[in-house]
Amino acid sequence: RAFLFTSKEQQCLTLSENSKTAVIFRRTNAVLYEKRIYLLECKERNGVDYRGTEAKTQKGVPCQKWGDNTPHKPNYTPEKYPNAGLEENYCRNPDNDEKGPWCYTTDPATRFDYCNIPECEVECMHCSGENYHGVVATTVSGLQCQRWDSQQPHSHGYLPENFPEKDLKMNYCRNPDGEPRPWCFTTSPTKRWEYCNIPRCTTPPPVPAPGRQCLSGRGEDYRGTISVTEYGNTCQRWSSQSPHRHARTPENYPCKSLEENYCRNPDGEKMPWCYTTNTTARWEYCTIPSCDGTGSEAPAVDVPEQAQITEECYEGNGVTYRGTASFTLTGKKCQAWSSMSPHRHNKTADQFPNADLKQNYCRNPDADSRPWCYTTDPRVRWEYCNLKRCDDHTPVTLPKPPQTTLEPNSECIHGNGKDYRGTVAKTGRGRTCQEWSSQRPHTHDYFTPMTHPGAGLEKNYCRNPDGDVNGPWCYTTDPRKAWEYCDIPKCPPAQYECGKAKFRPKLCAQRIVAGCISHPHSWPWQISLRTSFGLHFCGGTLIDPQWVLTAAHCLEKSSRPSAYKVYLGLHKERALEPSVQKRDVEKLFKEPHRADIALLKLSSPAVINNHVIPVCLPKEDAVLGGREECYVTGWGDTKGTGGDGYLKETGFPVIENKICNRPEFLNGRVKKHELCAGNIHGGTDSCQGDSGGPLVCLDQDKFVQHGVTSWGLGCAQPMKPGVYVRVSNYIPWIKSIMEN
């Protein structure tokens, strides 16, 4: 029913149990594979192959065990029908009954009855098709669907690796974002996306868990009767189209209990909400009491004196760690604890209520040696997190001064050595490595030049094709030892590493408008663009010691470079700190096709130190997934909420353009070369004075600039996210300007 696969040993351990019938234990470097048929709680066709665990009839009567003779003597027994899956008292269909699975009942008056097993959503859909896994790949108008892993002809954020639980396979219709029914991006350049025509299943949908009268998680199971928003507006009835027309109707969302005008969360929002009867407020969130009795916490007000330079760390074995780290030692993103994809597990908030298993944050629910998480990589079940103990006082080393040339050292490793391409061919214990293309003396059909063409598996050189935490390794020519690690030294620090601050940022997910003060110098690529007499008016980003990226509209007042100055290394807008560097602008370049992005060449390179470090740029045409948590920084307008004059930060999610262009948000205004980010309910945004500043996202252990702050409707207004120029679209232009 399942097997454990260990990649290095090339071994499979077969199991008679699976995650539904036995406790799952974690094991390093092993992946659990489970037979799909034993995980399904739905039937295909008449359910003759159903192997789920439903054990009561459609009337709710418990089933009799197939091996028992009371109260009914069965004709179908495990001995007579060994291949029919007649285990325990689970519903089965051993006689190929056209009505589906059934069982003998524990009611002496009823010999047998059918079970209520829903159809698998392959040829039809239940509810809004959230769990549809069929192969329809055309839209209602007959257009062919675009593959989810493709960015042509339409770039998008629904990347399969970012939504592993949404089954975004091939070009099949799916519903990853709470639409009324499955849809897809189309292969027509003139039609970005369209719904698919998938019929509803005729059998009843899966029985939902009992609804709650309080808020748990995102409140998708809230079934209470609160019908007033957080701002006191009365909710509009879900079945009504007045005063606001909408598609969140009981007909489109039949399984979401859209009764009366009660607050609900039918589409995976942050919390329950409703359309309002106020003509000027289309929809708002509701205030629902929390099930744990804590209520909703108001964000603490930051004051500059409290902003300390601290690093996130864990005490002891990290059981009490409650931070927001969400990457492993090898840079893999953590899987959400509430998700069962790509890895099924039993470490849930219900099973470990005191472990604070929120979102995909690193935790230690089982008292391991340090915080860990399941990963979003289907090949790696879990890893320890990229955190250090609070009592680990490793000194921070200053970066070396910039050099004009730096010879690469191929016989040392950076990080875990996954990119090592040197020629060491002996293990740490002196054994000669076996060639990767050879099957002698050790056979291995996984780590070969054919299976891993980009891993550098040449000759018999040490490599790290699986990203092992401990570094490069190889199969050995010793028949008694399959593989060993190689002893390759770490490379010395580079002149600087882009996107890596020397002071850990606060990473606060509050709001620039509400004045979340940054830790000093924790965003060392942030620059202040000023007039020639020193007045701050725009932000920008250091992308190279002599180059700054900003918004083109920041340069509207003058085309003369002498009209501008760039300040670097500052935390306070007054710029009186000794760390401040000031540079004149030598040249300025606006994007030739009028995109809101521009480059500034400084009069001389900035001195790279603890307070001034360039950010990383994304790869050309890189696309952010719709779930990325990113950060905006700046000294902009805080609307009187405090913290003026200090560099502020805020974290919020990137919003897929498809969602951002809905009528209730920005109504089609966001262009292909722009991206959307912000909290839909408002209160968190970049404002005037932050124009040209960076939108950066954490990629493993480095920050990458994906956006240049461009425009928005108002400032932190509900349903009006900020709009940013998509930097990855302009990498060729940026490189050509800097090189020429």
Asked if residue 107 and residue 9 are part of one domain, the reply reads no
Residue 591 is assigned to a structural domain of this protein = yes
Q: Which of 57, 89, 117 is where one domain is finished? A: 117
Residue 510 pLDDT exceeds 60: no
Number of domains comprising the chain: 3
* Rounded distance between C-alpha atoms, residue 141 and residue 452, angstroms: 40
Pairwise pLDDT comparison (740 vs 684), residue with the higher score: 740
Which of 389-393, 441-445, 656-660 is predicted least confidently? Answer: 389-393
Name the most confidently modeled range: 150-159, 496-505, 658-667, 729-738: 729-738
Name the most confidently modeled range: 42-46, 47-51, 423-427: 423-427
Pairwise pLDDT comparison (336 vs 6), residue with the higher score: 336
Q: What is the chain's mean pLDDT, rounded?
A: 83
User: 438 with 447: CB under 8 angstroms?
Assistant: no
Residue 564: what are its φ and ψ, rounded to 5°?
A: -130, 150
Confidence band of 210 (pLDDT split at 50, 70, 90):
confident
**Residue 696 has what pLDDT?**
92
**CA distances (Å), origin 556, targets 367, 559, 588, 739:** 58, 7, 12, 25
Confidence band of 307 (pLDDT split at 50, 70, 90):
very low
Residue 418 is assigned to a structural domain of this protein = no
Please enumerate in sequence order all residues whose Cβ is within 8 A of that of 322, keeping only pairs 6 or more positions apart, or say none: 356
CATH code at position 109: 2.40.20.10
Confidence band of 8 (pLDDT split at 50, 70, 90):
low
Across residues 342-346, what is the average pLDDT? 81
Asked if residue 63 and residue 34 are part of one domain, the reply reads no
Which of 398-402, 591-595, 728-732 is predicted least confidently? Answer: 398-402
Across residues 261-281, what is the average pLDDT? 88
**Residue 169 has what pLDDT?**
87
Query: Which one, of 580, 568, 575, 583, lies nearest residue 526 by Cα?
Result: 568
Asked if residue 59 and residue 27 are part of one domain, the reply reads no
Domain that residue 10 falls in: 2-38
- Residue whose token pair is 């009592």: 391
* Rounded distance between C-alpha atoms, residue 71 and residue 249, angstroms: 47
The rounded percent of the chain whose pLDDT value lies above 90 is 38
Beta bridge partners of 612: 609
Query: What letter does residue 119 receive in the DSSP assignment?
Result: B
Asked if residue 545 and residue 648 are part of one domain, the reply reads yes
Query: What letter does residue 554 receive in the DSSP assignment?
Result: G
Asked if residue 592 and residue 563 are part of one domain, the reply reads yes
Across residues 316-337, what is the average pLDDT? 85
Confidence band of 502 (pLDDT split at 50, 70, 90):
confident
Residue 371 pLDDT exceeds 80: yes
Asked if residue 79 and residue 29 are part of one domain, the reply reads no
Tokens for 305? 């004196």
Q: Which residues are catalytically annotated?
A: 553, 596, 691
Residue 356 is assigned to a structural domain of this protein = no
Is the pTM higher than 0.75? The answer reads no
Asked if residue 654 and residue 595 are part of one domain, the reply reads yes
Query: What letter does residue 276 receive in the DSSP assignment?
Result: B
Please enumerate in sequence order all residues whose Cβ is within 8 A of that of 513, keeping only pairs 6 or more positions apart, or say none: 637, 638, 639, 641, 683, 684, 685, 687, 715, 716
Query: What letter does residue 677 receive in the DSSP assignment?
Result: E
**Residue 101 has what pLDDT?**
96
Q: Which of 65, 99, 117 is where one domain is finished? A: 117
Name the most confidently modeled range: 137-141, 688-692, 714-718: 137-141
